[in-house]
Amino acid sequence: MSRSDRTDRRREPGTTGSNLKWLLLLVVPIGLTGAALAWALAAGDPVQPEAPARVFADCAGATVLGLAALPRLHDRLQPPWRVLTVLAGVWAAMEFTMLVLEAAEVQGLPVRQLSATGFGDYLTNVSGGQIGIALLIGTGAVTAYSAFGFRNPDRATADLVLVFTAVTLALRPITGHMSQQMFGSVLAAVHALAASAWFGLLLALALTVRTRGEWAVLLPRYSAWALPLAATVLATGVLNGLVRVGGLTELATTGYGRILLAKTLFLTALLALGYWWRKTWVPIASDHRMAAESSLRRAIGEVLLMAIVFGLAATLAVTA
């Protein structure tokens, strides 16, 4: 970073920012709260039991994507390989958990009664199991390479993590229910990747940015990406949802429609907030007129609001 960045780092104690960063752990309970809200909105419509694991997996995958994309915001930024390895490992574990839950559900058994043979049959004979294997390979590769990057930061490149993460994140949506519609796979993949980049990059900045000078450089660059990403998420989400429910009346009469409506309302609020931040927070921060702690508070607040949407989206994806 520049000389002004180093000056800011000396002037601003890191302990306050470090304490605030612990608030990012609230992403987990708030994401689960979004899933619980979706469960309540589903009412009588069946919701598959892997929804909570899906929340963990989606949030972890998006954060991995955001951390890997940091060098794209600034060429001197490198992802924190230790954190990246841990989160990729969590993502892989959650994908395996969902695979076990899906196998038990397909066979009509409680998880504790699922045998190794039954699990193997699901993996080899059911398309969902085969997709699950591909997801485990993708998340395992990201975890292994991130661990290599932690041990050998001078020999690792974040671009490989970025590519493998993007492909892995796109695997589930391109093979889901929208794949039966014309261009449905493309819309679903664009929706998932745009949402992950929007959420993950801001969370990555909240985890790594420490000084006023760093926010001044990085926030405008993130903002230039954020609004187009948010608009893409909203547009593709509404289009995908309307194709799935089949009409406007189903938004109120079906569980899927009610969850979709709630998700759209939250997304609209986030889009409005992003527009407001672009008019207020971004200019002040870019002029070095906002303390790093204040910028961090705003970033954390927006991340936590996004976590609710991720909880709704994760449950929506497993609602009949």
Report how far apart, in Å, the C-alpha atoms of 310 and of each of 3, 58, 185, 233, 279 are: 38, 7, 20, 12, 25
Task: Give yes or no for a contact between 134 and 164, defined as CB atoms under 8 angstroms apart.
Answer: no
pLDDT band at 92 (very low <50, low <70, confident <90, very high): very high
The fraction of the chain above a pLDDT of 70, given in percent, is: 90
pLDDT band at 7 (very low <50, low <70, confident <90, very high): very low
Q: Is the pTM of this model over 0.75?
A: yes
For residue 282, the tally of other CB atoms under 10 A from its CB is 21
- Give the distance, in angstroms, between the CA of residue 49 and the centroid of all CA atoms in the same chain: 20
The predicted-structure confidence for 165-216, as pLDDT tens digits, reads as follows: 999 999 988 876 555 565 668 888 999 999 999 999 999 999 999 899 999 9
Distance CA 58, CA 78 (A): 22
Token couple for 310: 């991720």
Query: Which of 61 and 250 is assigned the larger pLDDT?
Result: 61
What CATH class has 3-317? mainly alpha
* Count of residues making up the chain: 320
The predicted-structure confidence for 235-292, as pLDDT tens digits, reads as follows: 998 888 777 777 777 777 888 889 989 999 999 999 999 899 999 999 999 999 999 9
Residue 196's region, left for phi above 0, alpha for psi from -120 to 50, else beta, is alpha
pLDDT of residue 8: 44
Domains of the chain, residue spans: 3-317
Please name which of 261, 227, 206, 246 lies closest in space to residue 20, comparing C-alpha atoms.
206
Task: Give yes or no for a contact between 29 and 52, defined as CB atoms under 8 angstroms apart.
Answer: no
Distance CA 50, CA 52 (A): 6
